Amino acid sequence: MSLDVEYAFDEFFRDETFVDDFTYRNSPAAIRRFPFPFDRDDYMYSVNMEPHVPGRKGSVFEKTFDVDEHYVSEMRDRARILAKDPLRCQSLPHMTLAGWDLLELIMESKAREYPQWFSLTKNGDRWRWINRPLGIDHSFTFLDETTLPCGPMEYITRQTQGDFTLQDEREGTLWVDAGMVTTQADWSLDFDIGMNFHEWHAPVPLAHEKGIFDRALKFLLKLQHGAPVRRFNWTMTVNPLLDTAPETYPEWGYMRTTLNQENMGHMMHLRVELQALFRLPRSNAIAFSIRAYLGKFEELVTVPKWGRRLHRVVRDIHPDLAAYKGFLRNRDAMAEWLSSYDDGAPTSPGWWPED
């Protein structure tokens, strides 16, 4: 596929890497707006969903699809991964219409919310899309695949941070029948594509028994167009690897064995997924966006409340969750490092830094 891009790095869009020399980091402003996912001092799975409505100004909840300082570098990383492994982006034949729905949703949202970077002009079905940070100025015919360099889902998700999956609704459940997955926490689209809601969630511990997936699915089947919802998920990642795929686990797994008290602060990252779910208008499919934010431990503890709370969550987490999330072997070392940022003072409810 040939999507010609010209990466426009500037004072805002950082030129950084998520592999090899790992130059990724957050600016002080990005740390302040980091989506810290813990609203209390402990954590267990729950059906944590709320309306995806504009949140606080400057926060990651302000826009439909948050664009931040890592945008251009993340898109370059995605192109790198897709060149090595095209199976990271797949769409079963019946999902093309849902791909167009997603393209429309993203283009309209970005053009409306970030006019300085994106613009969409429509002349009937002739659309002109401008993406300034990636140097794209492209006219095409909406719903005509021959006018795009690749499928509509691939086209737009090569230009949008976060992974995306598209779920078809049939037989009272959802089927993950398409996706762009290059920033995942250790699950394989190529293996899971075509599975239903309970099947692809099969490996998750404890949550099935708690009825969480039954309730979440029931809720999702009622999702209405124009009323998206969002939730958080999180895990831990050694080094700022956006792409912790099972496919490449032999390349990155050993990094988990290299942690110590000296390197913990810059090597260990809290990985937060801001997930949003949208009912799509033409296909009736559900789009799922999974936007990963990486925060170094040393960055997060600059917010005293987060340092205290992260220590308590890591220290007290259920071992099955720590094992599933892949940090059981490092849990004690992580808690030890974090303990020097926890003076035992009470923390205020909610995840905002200053409250």
Partner 1 sequence: MTKTEFPPSIRSRPVYGELEPRAGIFHLIVADGEGADAVIALFAKAADAASMLAKSHILYTAGPNGTDEWDRIAALGAAQAQKAASVPTLLFRLARVLQDVQMGTQIYLTGTEGLMGQAERDIMALGFPHSDIQKEHRGSTVRRVQCVHCKGVTENVRTDPFQCSHCGLHLFVRDHYSRRLAAFQGVNIDAEDRGQVPPPVERFR
Rule CB under 6 A: which residues touch ligand HEM?
45, 47, 165, 167, 174, 176, 187, 192, 200-201, 203-204, 207, 212, 216, 220, 231, 233, 235, 286, 288, 324-325
Structure tokens at 114: 């970030």
Nearer to ligand HEM (CB atom), residue 12 or residue 187: 187
For the question of residue 312 being annotated catalytic, the response is no
Copy the structure tokens of residue 284: 């009736």
The option from ligand HEM, partner 1, none interacting with 195 (CB < 5 to 8 A, set by class) reads: partner 1
- How far apart (Å, rounded) are the C-alpha atoms in residues 275 and 231? 5
> Measured from the CB atom, is 72 or 181 closer to ligand HEM?
181
Selected catalytic residue, list 32, 76, 80, 231: 231
Question: Are 153 and 180 a contacting pair, CB within 8 Å?
Answer: yes
Collapsing DSSP states into helix, strand and coil, what is residue 182? Answer: coil
Q: Compute the distance between CA of residue 94 and CA of residue 274 in angstroms, rounded to an integer.
A: 27
Binding at 324: pick from ligand HEM, partner 1, none (beta carbon under 5-8 Å per type)? ligand HEM
Minimum distance of partner 1 from residue 267's CB (angstroms): 15
d(C-alpha 13, C-alpha 27), whole Å = 11
193 binds, among ligand HEM, partner 1, none (CB under 5 to 8 A by kind): partner 1
**Which pair of tokens denotes residue 4?**
């010609």
Binding-site partner at residue 250 among ligand HEM, partner 1, none, CB < 5 to 8 Å by type: partner 1
Alpha carbons 336 and 141: distance in angstroms, whole number: 57
Instruction: Return the structure tokens found at 318.
Output: 């259920």
Question: Please, which residue, 75 or 180, has the CB nearer to partner 1?
Answer: 180
Nearest Cα residue to 80 out of 135, 134, 24, 18: 18
Residues that bind partner 1 in the complex, under the rule CB under 8 A: 87, 188, 190-195, 198-203, 208, 246-250, 252-254, 256-257, 329
DSSP for residue 246: S
Rounded least distance, CB 201 to ligand HEM, Å:
6
- Active-site residues, by number, are 231
